[in-house]
Amino acid sequence: MEKITFDKKFFNIKDTLTCGQVFRFVKYENGYLVFSWDKCCYLYETLDKTIIECNVEDKEYFTNYFDLHTDYSSIYESAINSEYLMLKKSAEMGKGIRILNQNKVETVFSFIISQNNNIPRIKSIIEKLCVKFGKLCCFDDKSYYAFPTPSALANATLEELKETGLGYRAPFVKRLAESIISGFDINGLSTLPAYALKATLLNIYGIGEKVADCVMLFAYKKTDCFPVDTWMEKVYKEDFFGMLSNRKEMSKWFTETFGNNAGYFQQYMFHYKRNIEK
DNA sequence: CTCCAGGATAGTG
DNA sequence: CACTATCATGGA
């Protein structure tokens, strides 16, 4: 077992996992188990450190997954020095949030499932998909299921897919799986320029503006992307006093205002807005 | 019971 | 173009 130790100041486990970017994690002992594609790691915090425990061969995978090569202090400073009070408060509260570098195939499927849905249900559907169609794996003495391969999903019937609670999203999942089997290369898209990547994602059945932005930010590291959902629409209107009416234009405004920090700031503010209004 | 959840699609004007 | 009814499911 390998241990990766990182300063806790810019790596809060709970905030990073629960700000809506990732759906496969469970509380375990003093921390969390996190699953990515077919891999697993265990996370916990000490007084001043965040510790990742994983298999030796997965060390670099999870170092990159948790974005440990990126320095968050300058991102945080930039938010704290912003003229927008909402952003300052959000950054202060969520400075331990990191944007993960997730498996691309898993992320595309996960965010197709996320449309018009809530986080507990998204987690439940994905977990059932893994149990039903994923490969049995083990980590230490624990067993879990990998994210299903595209071929496993393509071979499933719509009725079988719907047993996981997918509802009307089942055809989205099936069609994407079939297209990957036929040669559509999700991972290969990383070489495309941002505008071409976005156009390609929007062309996928079941993916619109918001989901495309999420995939670009959470799997392709396009940190100038700013997904606008119901929460960010509230932020835009209530905290930025914006007058635009559609979400695509709001997203554009945030991107133009915050540049390459837009994605990080979106996570800070999403986390703040959701936690403060409860 | 109604409403809504980190929306997208197909159809209409 | 912009606007909107509808989509399956479960929890509040």
CB-based contacts of A76-79 (< 8 A; 24+ apart in sequence): A76/A10, A78/A261, A79/A261, A79/A264, A79/A265, A79/A268
Closest-lying nucleotide for A167 based on CA to C1': C8
Residues A155-205 have pLDDT tens digits of 999 999 999 999 999 999 999 999 999 999 999 999 999 999 999 999 999
Measure, in angstroms, how far nucleotide C1 C1' is from residue A1 CA: 58
Measure, in angstroms, how far nucleotide B12 C1' is from residue A91 CA: 44
pLDDT of residue A245: 86
Q: Report the C-alpha dihedral over residues A154, A155, A158, A160, rounded to 10 degrees.
A: -130
Those residues whose beta carbons lie under 7 A from strand C are: A 116-118, 120-121, 162, 165, 167-168, 245-246
Measure, in angstroms, how far nucleotide C7 C1' is from residue A9 CA: 43
Token duo for residue A132: 């039903």
Closest-lying nucleotide for A111 based on CA to C1': B6
Mean pLDDT of A233-252: 92
Nucleotides of C under 7 A from a protein CB: 3, 7-11
DSSP code string of A115-149: TT--HHHHHHHHHHHHHHHSPEEEETTEEEEPPPP
Measure, in angstroms, how far nucleotide B12 C1' is from residue A232 CA: 29
Residues A135-146 have pLDDT tens digits of 999 999 999 999
Residues A70-109 have pLDDT tens digits of 999 999 999 999 999 999 999 999 999 999 999 999 999 9
DSSP state letter for A82 = -
Instruction: Please determine, for residue A277, whether its predicted confidence score (pLDDT) is greater than 80.
Output: no
Token duo for residue A210: 């918001």
How high does pLDDT run on average in chain A?
96
Residues A47-79 have pLDDT tens digits of 999 999 999 999 999 999 999 999 999 999 999
Instruction: Please determine, for residue A278, whether its predicted confidence score (pLDDT) is greater than 90.
Output: no
Token duo for residue A20: 């809506």
Nucleotides of B under 7 A from a protein CB: 4-10
Residues A13 and A32: beta-carbon distance below 8 Å:
yes
